[in-house]
Chains A and B, each alone.
Chain A
Amino acid sequence: MPTLTIDEREVSVPAGASVLEAAEALGITVPHFCYHKALGAVGACRLCAVEIQAGPQHGLRMACLVEARDGMVVSTTAPAATGMRRAVIEYLMLNHPHDCPVCDEGGECQLQDMTVAGGHGVRRYRGKKRTFPNQELGPFVEQEMNRCIQCYRCVRTYRDYAGGHDFGVLGVRQRVAYGRFRPGRLESPYSGNLVDVCPTGVFTDKTVRFRARVWDMQCAPSVCPHCSLGCATWPWARYRELLRVSGREGPRTNGFFLCDRGRFGSGHANHPDRPRTPRLDGRELGWPEALEALRERLTKLTWAHGPGAVGLLTSGRASLESARALGLLGQALGGAPVVCEPHPRRDRAVRALVAELGQLGRDQEDVRQSDCLLLAGLDPEGEAPMLALAARQAVRRGARAAVWDPRPDRLPFPARRIARLPEALLEALARPDGRAPDGLEAAERESYAETRAALQAAERPVLLGGADLLGPRGVRLLLAAARALSRPGRACGLSLALPGPDSFGGALLCPDGPDADELLAGIEAGRVRALVCLEADPLSEHPDPARVAAALGRLELLVVLDHLPTASAARAHAVLPTTAAAEMDGAFVNHAGRLQGFARVYSAGLPIRVTGQGAHPPREFRPDTPGELPQPGWAVLAALAGEPVELGELRAELARSEPRLAGLAGLVAGGPGVQLALEPSARERPDTPAEPGVAEGELALLSVEALFGSEPLSARAAPVAGVASEDALALCPADAARLGLGEGEPARLRSALGEAVLPVRLAPGLAPGFALVQRRFGGPLEGFAPGGGPIACRIEKGGAR
């Protein structure tokens, strides 16, 4: 711990820290552009000059490049240092356009801040500024190259940190530019980070271009609702419209960055068709009438047919408090159990994890720090995009990575790959002798043995998986493998991507309720007569939509609480509008068991149509806010149960009744959150039977999530509508040739999930014997709910699409 003096104050910092970081520890910000905590120092901007007055080095130095040493005396305010900083700002302003009044970055621009702070106000130089043509980079990121100050942050983020291939540095001298080789959409799923890291307005969020000034927007610390990782975000809203999302520092989760789904997929909150008014039997009502009528009907059904007459279904999308309130409603109705997920296999997989995880859970930071990774049945781009980025950081630091997955490799790092379903391999890994499973080829056996040895030798090994492909059995095998690879004092961790942002919390609250199939059987048998769906859409998420549709048709009362215009909501007798995550306070438990709070950014309501868009100013004046009725799910449910509560009370109750959630009491949005103290369930571990395999000669169909448009939120976000990949059926070239199908030719796909005619896409990375589709809302694959694992399918040459 070197101790040094900066601006006459002493500070001790960890060995290896730079002077800039040491100053930061004192609360002194040394102005800088190119340095970034996650990207390190490159010494390009030359702004962070300080004067080192004593110690191993002397004179004017770059604070980001000089390691803090014992006995150093540093001045950040010496005339030489401030003079150099002033000079650097002047250099940068030589070429920077004076377009702050029309620049989207204005108000949150580091260059603007530094220029004002440094006192540079008069242009002395009389020459021309250098100018560049701008590139069209697709629907998300706007480029305005003239504003560039050549800090290299963008390329270090896009290429080095995120592993993107299509973006780089071009040119030389004072004509250095950053962009793509040719104009075109940025290919990386992490492209939006350019907006966050650029210290000036070269890269701005195109989806909100010219919509708002940063000081006109509301924002609050939030947690990304687009997958189970719980990345830290800042949603920004203006005039009751969720305009954009930017990355927030999440040391245990995302670090600083976000994936494009999390950043650009939040338009669902502004969806024009979203439920905004309580509706019962086709009539719009006020809250009191709607709640009164529903309470009466639910109570009557319970009285008449017993507590089992009302089914309760939630999903990983609902907040922890809302899921709890659903349980309280069940209690109020005499003990109706809660079903956690509309997809029974997903439900069982999540519950298996939550029951057995104990202290083995690993978050993104653990993955970044790992020295050996195995990705078994995980497709990060679809299930948890940021997990791939975390794994990439580990690999960049020298970690070894292996992948066991039949799907094509889309990872931003190199890994040894066995293109098979991971189940048999995990089973072998979990066995004490670890002998390779039968049926592997020689190279695969070698690869398996090498991976196992590496996992055993590693200091911080982590197994990564996806609940969707693994299913309950696979999850248990992954857990067993992690235990088998652990030894006293050194655990092998586990990081599993789950279906929704609070899948973990939901399963924690009801570890052993029925699953959706049991619920459907109850409806079919006439036992269950009413169903309350909390932010759950069984029609789209259950693997047998036809069965769901028939069952829903039998119900006497279907109540849907949601903020999305889902298929199930369209069928419901009653729709109760809820708020989206950005419109409420709440908490999620992420995939690794970290409880994190999020705060309300703005109040729900119809976005104000700003004048000047060709429309007349609004002429209607009313005392209420249009569209303000959506309420948090927990509030609606508590009212429905007849026991309205405040959020604090609900949290306190939850913290009391569930000791593992004790941290909820002091939870602060924007804080680090609380890692839950989990014990593996003491109960005997059930032996999950193997799933029915796919017969010889049949292809195994995998329906998975895509980056955009597969999960219900981003599927309803306007900015990503144009970029969702085209519906297609991926086959490995050998299988396609056997079936007589070529690239782009139509094929008819039949499976238990449904039938569709799709163009064939040849995927050389896909293991033979598999067919792959990405579910997308609004297309022929809408019914192909992911999460079902491999199922049998038949493929033949298709007719007209």
Chain B
Amino acid sequence: MILAPELRAQIEEIAGRYPDRRSALLPALHLAQRSLGGCVQADGVAEVASILGLPLAAAFGVQSYYTMFNRQPIGRYHLQLDVNVPAMLAGADALLAHLEQVLGIRAGQTTPDGLFTLSTVQDLGSCGTCPVLQVNDRYYENLTPARADELLTHLRRGQMPDWQPEAAWGSSCNILLRRRGNPKARELAEYRKTGGYQALEKALGMTPEALVAEVKAAALRGRGGAGFPAGMKWGFLPKEGNRPVYMICNADEGEPGTFKDRQIMEFDPHLLLEGLTIAGLAVGSRLGFIYIRGEFAWIAEILERAAEQARQAKLLGNDILGRGKEFEVLVHLGAGAYVCGEETALIESLEGKRGCPRVKPPFPASAGLYGCPTIVNNVETLACVPTIVQHGAEAFKKLGTPNNHGPKIFGISGHVKRPGTYEHPLGTSLDALLAEAGGVQGKLKAIIVGGLSVPILTAAEAAGLKMDYDSCLKAGTMLGSGGVIVMNETTSIPAVALRAMEFYAHESCGQCAPCSRGSHTVLALLRRLVAGRGSQADIEAVLHLCKRIKGSTLCPTGDAFSVPIEAMVRKFRPEFEALVR
């Protein structure tokens, strides 16, 4: 046996937490990987599969799907450098060159002494504190070559230093980031002292219908990117039936430019738990999940700790605050797949499968997790729920613009002086946001306002833009997740396009042809163009492919790259043409 008896027992225990043992596959593979020195080879996968009673082929299929699972031995320290667009704008390429030079290896290689494996990864969710290096399961943010050298010195001595990132933030709403500067906010006592869990108490006195009605009345739009009204989503649940209802919090924040949910989970975990619990009560769910991206392992620990505190205080469990209501939360780690941020892929992943999106319909509200009615909401959406319940829909609607109500966390990265997260009402002007972030470094050239998957805006198009769902749509882009990527005049748009495409080609789940083949083809074309070996026909081919891929894929991932790439080429075509000789 490869897995130690304690580990087997632990896997067994985790399996017992889920309605279906299979769901424990990802947690089990994480545990096995950690205990086996960073990789699980065939025999280990076989053991995990046998503990969970899964076919070997299924377990292996899952392991080979997720980026974070290593099947080959790696160095003692796995250095994973985020090189995607915000990191690139913050100088990750120079840091990569530096690391390659001092370690004497290329990305993808391991030092001869077996100490370091250097990898490049696509987005770690730290866009405001780039460049960021993930060492095993810890983040080291705001790195410079000098800081990186210092880090390596520590690591060589066998120490993982405890460095805290320096992140800028601000809030004019004091709802979602209200406790951001409070170092004790993770503690339940402090959270309660600052007004926490009052909304839950109020919710316990309301009927589920009243809760749904309140959220509907607040017109809370989903903060994950699509802006779909959360109350309406809840209303899609079947009114009858005895199948359990599952409430899932989507914390798989992984699109370059997006790093907002992290602020809530890391610094105010109880706010999310309270929102999730109220949502659970509203939809009649007894079990909720927080599906958090695998790289955020330490944030998952924070959430688990907070949940345990809540359990102790009877804020979770089978008799919440002695009022006879039941709700439990499981924190579930993903394993490095962007597509799992799509709700049906997330559900598949939570079921212990490959995170491939499902065909809709059926929508999760009728057949989601384990085939049961399921609601999936984003972290920020759920974090808005307590304030709606506590202060009422009307108060919530006072913030923002018509049809776009409430607070929103904007994550600003790229060429600004103080990249960070800023909470303001929806409809706040982009100019004001940029000013708060210290202003653009240099001259604004282009801006992506909703995470990498929305169409880019030129400086002219972005002038005077109001940051809400409808205004962005009118401006030919989308608010998306509110991840603002700022690019100044030194930025090469073809390089940004290439980097963006590297992300999407890496993250395609491989299920449908236009996305899996299309993304790689567009990537190859862009590579050739950026390398100066392209032709005018290649530019046309990129545009042609983007047009074809748009709307043709099984899930939104096809649109997520075809739309922004097409916009970059169309809006900055001279730059692409300059690359063609």
Contacts and interface: CB of A to CB of B under 8 A. Distances in A.
A146 B465 CA distance: 49
Contacts of B45: 181
Contact of B64 (A46, A91, A130, A171): A171
A84 interface: yes
Nearest to A45: B513
Nearest to A65: B359
Interface stretch (B80-88, B433-441, B518-526): B518-526
A156 to B, nearest CB: 12
Given A46-B554, A83-B548, A171-B65, A181 B42 contact: yes
B282 to A, nearest CB: 30
A165 interface: yes
A127 B524 contact: yes
Nearest to B49: A181
Given A41-B359, A49-B552, A92-B517, A172 B60 contact: no
A125 B551 contact: no
Nearest to A179: B57
B354 interface: yes
Contacts of A149: 513
Interface string A141-182: 000000001101000000100000111111111111000111
B508 A174 contact: yes
Given A170-B64, A173-B508, A46 B57 contact: no
A37 interface: no
Contact of B61 (A84, A88, A125, A170): A170
Contacts of A167: 57
A176 B518 contact: no
A685 interface: no
B516 interface: yes
A159 B521 contact: no
Contacts of A173: 505-510, 516, 519-520
B513 A168 contact: no
A168 B541 contact: no
B517 A94 contact: yes
A43 B67 CA distance: 24
Contact of B514 (A88, A152, A166): A88
B514 A91 contact: yes
B122 to A, nearest CB: 12
A174 B514 contact: no
B146 to A, nearest CB: 36
B104 interface: no
A165 B56 contact: yes
B546 to A, nearest CB: 11
A42 interface: yes
Contact of B552 (A60, A94, A152, A159): A60
Interface string A216-240: 0000000000000000000000000
B390 interface: no
Contacts of B551: 59-60
A158 to B, nearest CB: 9
A181 B551 CA distance: 35
A701 to B, nearest CB: 33
Contact of B512 (A46, A83, A94, A175): A46
- A contact face: mostly helix, strand, loop, or mixed: loop
A738 interface: no
A45 B359 CA distance: 12
Contacts of B337: 172
Q: Which of A95, A173, A176 has the most CB of B within 10 A?
A: A173
B552 A150 contact: no
A42 B359 contact: yes
B553 interface: yes
B64 A172 contact: yes
A42 B554 CA distance: 9
What interface size band does chain B fall in? 35 or more
Contacts of A88: 513-514, 552
A44 interface: yes
A91 B359 contact: no
A46 B56 CA distance: 29
A619 interface: no
Interface string A34-51: 000000011111110100
A165 B59 CA distance: 11
A60 B46 CA distance: 43
B58 interface: yes
Contacts of A59: 551
Contacts of A169: 61, 354
A491 interface: no
Interface in A711-746: none
Q: Which of A60, A94, A169 has the most CB of B within 10 A?
A: A169
B511 interface: yes
B552 A168 contact: no
B55 interface: yes
Given A46-B552, A60-B551, A165-B55, A181 B60 contact: yes
Contacts of A43: 359, 512, 554
A87 interface: yes
A182 to B, nearest CB: 7
A91 B521 contact: yes
B67 to A, nearest CB: 8
Nearest to A42: B359
B510 A172 contact: yes
A59 B550 CA distance: 13
A5 B69 CA distance: 50
B512 A172 contact: no
B169 to A, nearest CB: 35
A88 to B, nearest CB: 5
Contact of A168 (B42, B57, B518, B521): B57
B272 to A, nearest CB: 29
A283 interface: no
B502 to A, nearest CB: 12
B64 A180 contact: no
A215 B423 CA distance: 69
Interface string B279-296: 000000000000000000
B505 A46 contact: no
B519 to A, nearest CB: 8
Contacts of B509: 172-173
A124 interface: yes
Interface in B159-177: none
Nearest to A89: B513
Given A84-B552, A172-B64, A174-B508, A182 B42 contact: yes
B218 to A, nearest CB: 30
Contacts of B516: 150, 173-174, 176
Nearest to A180: B57
Interface in B86-115: none
A62 to B, nearest CB: 8
Interface string B34-73: 0000000010011000000001111011001111000000
B513 A171 contact: no
Given A149-B513, A168-B57, A87 B548 contact: yes
B536 to A, nearest CB: 14
Given A168-B55, A169-B354, A125 B521 contact: yes
Contacts of A165: 55-58
Nearest to A86: B548
B299 to A, nearest CB: 24
A44 B60 contact: no
Q: Which of B42, B337, B509, B510 has the most CB of A within 10 A?
A: B510
A208 to B, nearest CB: 26
B241 to A, nearest CB: 15
The 8 closest A-B pairs by CB, nearest first: A168-B57, A165-B55, A91-B517, A176-B510, A168-B61, A87-B548, A127-B524, A174-B516
Given A43-B359, A49-B552, A174-B505, 8 more contacts: A42-B359, A43-B554, A47-B513, A65-B359, A92-B517, A130-B520, A172-B66, A181-B60
18 contacts: A43-B359, A43-B512, A47-B513, A60-B552, A87-B514, A87-B548, A87-B552, A91-B514, A91-B521, A94-B517, A95-B517, A124-B541, A125-B521, A165-B58, A170-B64, A173-B520, A174-B508, A181-B45
